[in-house]
Amino acid sequence: MSQLKQVQEQSKSSLTILDGGMGHQLKRMGVAIEGEVGSLKRFLGVALANLHDPELVVRAHQLYIEAGADVITTNSYACIPACLELATETSEGIDLDAIIRAAGECAVKARGNMGTFYHLRSV
């Protein structure tokens, strides 16, 4: 049976708990949230944390795992061109592929750091 089929079968008979909002968690952990409510600038710090403070992002994932999450999602909600164009690190902004790759690496690292006690599913 494929891994996806196994997850689907398990889901029929059990509750699956997803992680919470990474932006809110990272803000609680010290990531700067700036700009007007509703503006893309408010998302920038959360997106850049994947590159600037990956260990903080990993720790945020781990907190959700420790709280009982069966599934964690990458910290890539804010990783969109319009948001990343606001970054001023270089004249070109931030490389979208690099920041999304970093978000994935943070989630994978968090899962790997938790050991076998936590039964996260890779899909």
Average pLDDT over residues 20-31: 94
Least confident of 16-25, 37-46, 84-93: 84-93
Please give the pLDDT value at position 70: 87
Most confident of 78-82, 91-95, 100-104: 100-104
- 3-state class percentages of the chain: helix first, strand second, coil last, to nearest 5: 55, 0, 45
* pTM for the whole structure: 0.78
Contact call for residues 53 and 31 (beta carbons, < 8 A): yes
- Write b or e for each residue in 59-90: b if 16 or more Cβ atoms lie within 10 A of its Cβ, otherwise e: bbbbbbbeeebbebbbbbebbeeebbebeeee
* pLDDT over 70 at 39, yes or no: yes
> Looking at the predicted structure, is the pLDDT value of residue 53 above 90?
yes
Per-residue confidence (pLDDT) for residue 6, from 0 to 100: 76
User: Scanning the structure block, which residue is given the tokens 């781990």?
Assistant: 62
Mean pLDDT across 24-44? 92
Model confidence band, residue 25 (pLDDT cutoffs 50, 70, 90): very high
